[in-house]
Chain A
Amino acid sequence: MSIFLQLLINGVIAGAIYALVSSGFSLIYSTNKFVHFAHGGVIALSAYFFFWTLSNSSLTPVVVIALTMLFSALLGYLLNKVFYKPLRAKKSSSLILFVTSMAILILSEALVLLIFGANAKTINLIKNNHGMEIAGAIITPLQLAIIGTAVLLFLGLYLFMKKTKIGKAMRAVADNKEVAEIVGISSEKIYSWSFAIGSAIAGIAAILISLEQNIEPTMGTSLMVKGFISAIIGGVGSVPGAILGSFSLGLTENFGTWFLPSGYKDAIAFLLLFVFLLFRPQGILGIKNKQR
């Protein structure tokens, strides 16, 4: 029983981390309609920004957290303006944008490697992080905080998309770009907004993940891969779908280790991806009949 509970808790924690990655990615995908793989690069760069600012300045952690979110939002905004906008102006296909985002991801990974070196870095911000026992399973306060922040963030995002003017405009562009433009919504402006907001979420993800795990140059790629698989499973372009997919993935991976060595976690994730792509490419919450 306690093994079951521990796997359940581990699965939920992993799911929360994946959801932090996939929700931002999905938000950008929903309006922009291309795979922004460099989202992982934004996470890695933000995590290193967080690490560097914490250890090289006397600012209080709260200020550093705010700065990191600002940094990531700005980074996402600039990536869109500098790299993607000129390609969109040339009417490049989504495949070219995808290859571009891959090149940006590799570029950011290599830059981090060049500046900070290959070894993993640890952030010791939270001193007292002993695990608590709940019915035989262990969970740390930080892990509880990750799950709590994720839930609050998703609630906030939901309200933002439903209630605010920009959120509504984003949904309109995601639904039908042409019609949205006819009623006077500038799609370029909405692209910028979704990059800034999606990347700010990436900044939050970077902060929480770097407190929970070590940070290393390749973290962007590995997190992006998981976040991306979650998004596909849940239904790409749907933020609630991405969150649902993330928890499904986290739970499947962790319960999979009941039967398989933990080294196969990644393989389990990809098997799940294959099953979905072959039998339900639109994902759990996706709508059929869209071109895939």
Chain B
Amino acid sequence: MIDAYLTHLAILIGIYSILAISLQLSLGYGGLLNLGHFSFFGIGAYASALLSVEGVPFVICLLFAGMVAAFFGWLLSIATNKLKGDYSALVTLGFSFVVYAVLLNWVALTNGSLGIAGIPRPNFLGIDFSNNLYFLLLVVFIALLSYLFIRKICSSSFGRALESTRDDELAAKLLGKNTTKLKRASLLIAAFFAGISGSLFAAYITFIDPSSFTFTNLIPILSIVIVGGLASLPGTIVATVVVVLLPEPFRFIGFPTSILGPIRQIMYATILLLIIYLKPRGFYGKIDLE
């Protein structure tokens, strides 16, 4: 019983850490306050779920989810690249509302507010991942790959050029960097990994509906990235563990779920406020939130 609960938490931590490090790439390294990041998670979840209920193998669903999300990341970058600072943040916020409206209203495709039920668990290489322990191993494996990949590109010349664009776009341009391309690529890659984590989420929960992908859900992920510190990947992982586990004790006090939801929101909002006031660099951050 305890084991099953811990496995469940570990799987959530794995899925959220992929989502958080992908936001880190776009916010921490790229400097774009992407309030629509959670929509890529939702797009990935839906893309993957729609294919997998048709019996498409999981690996294809996973990659398809990443690619569809990346495509929308590219679309969004066309808008964000033209704008500055809080305006680009607001476009991403608008994007998240459009995605939500489409998920809710395009009933023929998404089944509207009823959502998609009966999403199959992955089953490949002769392993049945309906066993949570195996699923955890799969999540850890993919999370590790994502982490290594994002760390690799962040420490590459691409990552350094991206950071210089974040700090001073004009200077980066003067040095001959194509900043538009850099920012576009970072958003695209970030969206790809958010889509991957969405696909894992759908396959794990086996049921998705639009309400799981509203913009308020972004607050915990944003807290993770800011608590961990901008442009710090290990910090992000530590913060994911902390932020996912933090509201869990309330479950044992015996609050009903109707109270648990708002309490969790209050907690995340408070964490966000505290970190902004007390430690704006987060715990491992290299740069200030700007």
**Using a CB–CB distance below 8 Å, which chain A residues touch chain B?**
34-35, 83, 86-87, 92-96, 98-100, 102-104, 106-107, 109-111, 113-114, 117-118, 221, 225, 228-229, 232, 261, 263-264, 266-267, 270-271, 273-274, 277-278, 281, 291-292
Contact, CB under 8 Å: A95 / B91: no
**Which A residue's beta carbon lies closest to that of B91?**
A277
List residues of chain A with CB within 8 A of the CB of B246. Answer: none
Q: What are 6 sample pairs from A and B whose C-beta atoms fall under 8 A apart? A: A103-B273, A106-B269, A111-B262, A111-B266, A267-B105, A277-B83
Query: Dominant SS at the B interface?
Result: helix
Q: Does B131 sit at the interface, judged by CB under 8 A?
A: no
Contact, CB under 8 Å: A267 / B102: yes
Q: Does B55 sit at the interface, judged by CB under 8 A?
A: no
Q: Does B86 sit at the interface, judged by CB under 8 A?
A: yes
State A21–B61 Cα separation when bound (angstroms). 43
**Which B residue's beta carbon lies closest to that of A98?**
B86
Contact, CB under 8 Å: A96 / B97: no
Contact, CB under 8 Å: B105 / A110: no
Contact, CB under 8 Å: B222 / A99: yes
**Which B residue's beta carbon lies closest to that of A264?**
B105
Question: In this complex, which of B89, B101, B289 has the most chain A Cβ atoms within 10 angstroms of its Cβ?
Answer: B101
**Which B residue's beta carbon lies closest to that of A232?**
B90
Contact, CB under 8 Å: A104 / B269: yes
Min CB gap A259→B, angstroms: 14
List residues of chain B with CB within 8 A of the CB of A232. Answer: 90
List residues of chain A with CB within 8 A of the CB of B263. Answer: 110, 114
Contact, CB under 8 Å: B101 / A267: yes
Q: Does B290 sit at the interface, judged by CB under 8 A?
A: yes
Using a CB-CB cutoff of 8 Å, which residues 265-284 of chain B contact chain A?
265-266, 268-270, 272-273, 276-277, 280
Total interface residues in chain B, CB < 8 Å: 42
Contact, CB under 8 Å: B98 / A267: yes
Contact, CB under 8 Å: A118 / B280: no
Q: Given contacts A95-B33, A110-B265, A263-B104, is CB(A274)–CB(B94) below 8 Å?
A: yes
Q: Given contacts A95-B85, A95-B290, A267-B105, is CB(A103)–CB(B266) below 8 Å?
A: no
Using a CB-CB cutoff of 8 Å, which residues 211-263 of chain B contact chain A?
216, 219, 222, 226, 258-259, 261-263
Q: Given contacts A86-B277, A96-B290, is CB(A273)–CB(B94) below 8 Å?
A: yes
Contact, CB under 8 Å: A270 / B94: yes
**Which A residue's beta carbon lies closest to that of B100?**
A266
List residues of chain B with CB within 8 A of the CB of A95. Answer: 33, 85-86, 89, 289-290
Contact, CB under 8 Å: B86 / A107: no
Given A94-B85, A291-B84, 17 new contacts (CB under 8 A): A95-B86, A96-B276, A96-B289, A98-B89, A102-B219, A110-B261, A110-B269, A111-B266, A113-B261, A261-B105, A263-B104, A263-B105, A271-B98, A273-B94, A277-B90, A278-B79, A281-B83
List residues of chain B with CB within 8 A of the CB of A274. Answer: 79, 91, 94, 98
Contact, CB under 8 Å: B269 / A107: yes
State A272–B276 Cα separation when bound (angstroms). 33
Contact, CB under 8 Å: B86 / A225: no
Q: Given contacts A277-B91, A281-B87, is CB(A100)–CB(B273) below 8 Å?
A: yes
State A97–B97 Cα separation when bound (angstroms). 21
List residues of chain A with CB within 8 A of the CB of B82. Answer: 278, 281
State A100–B222 Cα separation when bound (angstroms). 12
List residues of chain B with CB within 8 A of the CB of A107. Answer: 265-266, 269-270, 273
Q: Given contacts A87-B276, A95-B289, is CB(A110)–CB(B266) below 8 Å?
A: yes
State A114–B79 Cα separation when bound (angstroms). 37
Contact, CB under 8 Å: A114 / B94: no
State A107–B219 Cα separation when bound (angstroms). 11
CB < 8 Å neighbour of A292 from B83, B265, B270: B83
Contact, CB under 8 Å: B101 / A264: yes
List residues of chain A with CB within 8 A of the CB of B101. Answer: 263-264, 266-267, 270
State A225–B35 Cα separation when bound (angstroms). 14
Contact, CB under 8 Å: B94 / A96: no
List residues of chain A with CB within 8 A of the CB of B90. Answer: 35, 228, 232, 277
Contact, CB under 8 Å: A110 / B262: yes
**Which B residue's beta carbon lies closest to that of A86?**
B277
Contact, CB under 8 Å: A99 / B269: no
List residues of chain B with CB within 8 A of the CB of A278. Answer: 79, 82
Min CB gap A123→B, angstroms: 23
List residues of chain B with CB within 8 A of the CB of A111. Answer: 262, 266
Min CB gap B112→A, angstroms: 8
